Amino acid sequence: LQKLIHLLQATDDPLIQEQALITLSNSAAFSVNQDIIRNLDGLSVIGGMLSNCVPKVKEKALNALNNLSMNIKNQEEIQVFITQVCRTVESAPLNSDVQLAGLRLLTNMSVTSDYHQKMINSIPCFLHLLSEGTERTQIQLLKVLVNLSANPAMTRHLLRAQV
Q: Which domains does the chain have, with CATH numbers?
A: 1-79 (1.25.10.10), 80-162 (no CATH)
The number of C-alpha atoms within 13 Å of 76 and in the hemisphere containing its C-beta is 6
pLDDT in tens, 78-135: 999 999 999 999 999 999 999 999 999 999 999 999 999 999 999 999 999 999 999 9
What whole-number distance in Å separates Cα of residue 145 and Cα of residue 47? 24
Per-residue pLDDT tens over the stretch 43-79:
999 999 999 999 999 999 999 999 999 999 999 999 9
Of the CA atoms within 13 Å of residue 33, those in its CB half-sphere come to: 16
Q: How confident is the model at residue 16 (pLDDT cuts 50, 70, 90)?
A: very high
Confidence band for 162, pLDDT divided at 50, 70 and 90: confident
pTM score, two decimals? 0.95
